[in-house]
């Protein structure tokens, strides 16, 4: 009888180490790469070369982002940009994707927090769990407890999101009912962490620019001279109400509260277009072949095109408030008489017009219709601090 030797643990470790070494070599030598990822923002941008199948197999985020539906290709190479992740942080993340290892003891507390945020965004769940454990064990988070806005955490979310840190929290916070209290709330004006936004189309920096336009910082800057909010200083919550790929259609009765932003991605394009409506989308407040009952708030409406940074943005404010927003039972709410005008309802695959008529500037070089590939609608809610 022939016996098959059992591979012991030490030998398995050697095999894993050898595989890890080979994959890191593949990454560092960027042999036959077919993905280029640009991380960071000017002036600190770095290009990383990687491999399509490794990224897709290791990260659910890249599995979606590098699909034929979303990714941009140049000469057979996928081009992907992550301006909200620094090159230093992305380098650590990329090495983890290839090797399943990370040298936590060489990272500072700030680096750990940055890597944790990036890992969460890229859906690297195992790494997120490991780094959360490191933060708890090293008690890095304990000094931050007095600054957490407990009263803003719904009781239904407390057990699910916060209880994992039970060993770190003071005993009086083990009761979810404490979320209704401000006992540990010292009210910093803004969170120092970038505002999160539940979107597949825009990132926190782009949301910050939209918020800046809502508050007209392009006309009246902040006291410090800034005309754009920082991503961690957004005074609004962008609450996702509708997503085309999830909800199919956007009908005006879906959203009746004031202030909403529509984001649209045309097919076969990297463009991101959108519009801001300061009123509720109801037939009582928006024109339907007649003037709205109250046009005063509509002077604040605008349409826009988002670039990779604010220098590429196009902001177009309404010329005449009476022509700003229209809706009726036959079509979704539209911006102007053609500026952002779906032919029917906002729906994936639906034609949409984008010809400058009622707003100051054209959003696209071409006035031809495009096909909606994806869209999102956000309710814009003023934060209470």
225 SS3 class:
coil
* CA distances, 137 to each of 12, 156, 173, 287 (Å): 29, 26, 18, 58
Chain segment 180-194, per-residue pLDDT in tens: 433 333 333 334 344
Q: Are 383 and 232 in contact (CB under 8 A)?
A: no
50 SS3 class:
strand
pLDDT exceeds cutoff 80 at 245:
yes
What share of the chain has pLDDT > 90, as a percent?
26
Chain segment 43-86, per-residue pLDDT in tens: 889 999 988 888 988 888 888 788 766 667 888 888 888 888 99
**More confident position, 293 or 143:** 143
**Backbone dihedral region for residue 204 (phi beyond 0: left; psi -120 to 50: alpha; all else: beta):** alpha
- What mean pLDDT do residues 206-218 have? 94
- The burial class, CB within 10 Å (0-12 / 13-18 / 19+), for 32 is exposed
pLDDT band at 202 (very low <50, low <70, confident <90, very high): very high
3-state helix, strand, coil in the chain (%, to 5): 35, 25, 45
Q: CA geometry: angle at 356 spanning 277 and 296, to 5°?
A: 35
Q: Are 46 and 40 in contact (CB under 8 A)?
A: yes
For 46-60, 118-132, 211-225, 321-335, which range has the lowest pLDDT when averaged over its residues? 321-335
245 SS3 class:
helix
pLDDT exceeds cutoff 60 at 29:
yes
User: What is the pLDDT at residue 1?
Assistant: 42
**More confident position, 239 or 233:** 239
Chain segment 94-121, per-residue pLDDT in tens: 999 988 888 888 888 888 889 999 998 8
Helix (H) or strand (E) run with residue 306 in it: strand 302-306
pLDDT exceeds cutoff 50 at 284:
no
pLDDT exceeds cutoff 80 at 131:
yes
Listed by start position, the domains of the chain span 13-137, 142-180, 204-382
pLDDT band at 292 (very low <50, low <70, confident <90, very high): very low
User: What is the pLDDT at residue 252?
Assistant: 52
Chain segment 311-324, per-residue pLDDT in tens: 889 999 999 988 88
- Average pLDDT for the chain: 78
Q: Are 119 and 112 in contact (CB under 8 A)?
A: no
| The total number of residues written for the chain in this structure | 385
Q: Are 375 and 246 in contact (CB under 8 A)?
A: no
Rounded CA separation 252/118 (Å): 35
User: Which of 272, 304, 252, 253 lies closest to 373, judged by CA?
Assistant: 272
User: What is the pLDDT at residue 164?
Assistant: 59
pLDDT exceeds cutoff 50 at 2:
no
CATH of 13-137, picked from 3.40.50.150, 3.30.710.10, 3.40.47.10, 3.40.50.740, is 3.30.710.10
What burial letters (b/e) apply to 40-78, b meaning 16+ CB within 10 Å? bbeeeeeebbbbeebbbebbebbeebbeeebbeeeeeeb
**Count of Cβ atoms closer than 10 Å to residue 307 Cβ:** 15
pLDDT band at 363 (very low <50, low <70, confident <90, very high): very high
User: What is the pLDDT at residue 189?
Assistant: 32
């Amino acid at each position: 009888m022939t016996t098959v030797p059992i591979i012991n643990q030490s030998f398995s470790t050697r095999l894993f180490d050898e595989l890890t070494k080979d994959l890191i070599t593949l990454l560092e030598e960027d042999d036959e790469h077919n993905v280029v990822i640009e991380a960071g923002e000017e002036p600190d941008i770095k290009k990383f070369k990687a491999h399509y199948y490794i990224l897709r197999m290791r990260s659910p985020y890249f599995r979606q982002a590098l699909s034929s539906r979303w990714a941009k290709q140049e000469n057979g190479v996928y081009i992907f940009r992550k301006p909200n992740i620094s090159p230093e942080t992305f380098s650590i993340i990329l090495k983890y994707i290839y090797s399943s290892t990370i040298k936590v003891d060489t990272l500072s507390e700030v680096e750990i927090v940055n890597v944790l945020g990036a890992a969460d965004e890229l859906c690297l769940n195992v790494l997120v769990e490991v780094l959360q454990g490191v933060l708890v064990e090293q008690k890095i988070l304990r000094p931050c407890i007095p600054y957490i806005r407990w009263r803003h955490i719904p009781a239904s979310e407390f057990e699910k999101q916060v209880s994992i840190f039970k060993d770190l929290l003071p005993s009086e916070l083990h009761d979810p009912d404490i979320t209704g209290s401000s006992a540990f709330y010292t009210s910093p004006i803004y969170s120092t962490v970038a505002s999160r936004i539940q979107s597949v189309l825009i990132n926190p920096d782009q949301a910050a620019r939209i918020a800046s336009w809502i508050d007209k910082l392009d006309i009246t800057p902040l006291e410090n001279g800034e005309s754009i909010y920082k991503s961690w200083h957004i005074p609004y919550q962008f609450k996702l109400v509708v997503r085309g790929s999830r909800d199919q259609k956007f009908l005006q009765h879906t959203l009746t509260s004031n202030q909403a932003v529509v984001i649209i991605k045309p097919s076969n394009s990297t463009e991101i277009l959108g519009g801001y409506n300061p009123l509720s989308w109801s037939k009582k407040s928006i024109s339907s072949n007649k003037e709205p009952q109250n046009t005063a708030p509509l002077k604040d409406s605008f349409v826009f095109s988002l670039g990779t940074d604010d220098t590429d943005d196009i902001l177009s404010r309404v010329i005449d408030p009476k022509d700003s927003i229209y809706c009726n039972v036959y079509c979704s709410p539209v911006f102007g008489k053609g500026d952002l005008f779906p032919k029917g309802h906002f729906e994936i695959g639906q034609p949409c017009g984008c010809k400058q008529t009622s707003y100051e500037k054209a959003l696209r070089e071409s006035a031809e219709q495009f096909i909606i590939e994806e869209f999102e609608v956000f309710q814009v809610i003023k934060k209470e601090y």
